[in-house]
A = this chain, B = another copy of it.
């Protein structure tokens, strides 16, 4: 189900190229991978079908659209409340990402909000479901790095 896909050098070069620029024309990706255009199109199609490439998405800067404050929030919730909490989190546009994790926290999430008042309000709302721990993001020195061949 979640098995690793067999990737040769050309597949890795192709993945690196399409991670770097998802809108690059096939011609450019083909040159990067050392493949013909037709072979590149076919490989891309298969990588997507296999789920190696989950999608291609524009990355929008939260700060540029009015959400300059980011935070990482952990929340400890009792098992019976997990589903209700998740439903609430899914409904809140502030939540960029949320992981179900081992340890003291049940969930760790990454949020972006307009200002400290919005953060306070968000925390007030979710505190109903458990105790939270919040770390404000000051900067992001390593940002969503593409996967490379080990």
Contacts and interface: CB of A to CB of B under 8 A. Distances in A.
Interface of A: 2-5, 7, 15, 18-23, 50-68, 70, 72, 74, 86, 89-90, 93, 95-103, 105, 107-109, 112, 114, 133-148, 150
Taken together, the copies of this chain in the complex come to 2
B142 A97 contact: yes
A32 to B, nearest CB: 12
Contact of A54 (B7, B59, B90, B93): B59
Given A95-B145, A102-B138, A53 B60 contact: yes
15 contacts: A20-B57, A22-B23, A52-B60, A52-B64, A53-B59, A54-B61, A55-B58, A56-B57, A72-B99, A95-B145, A98-B141, A99-B141, A100-B137, A100-B140, A103-B134
Contacts of A138: 99-102
B60 A100 contact: no
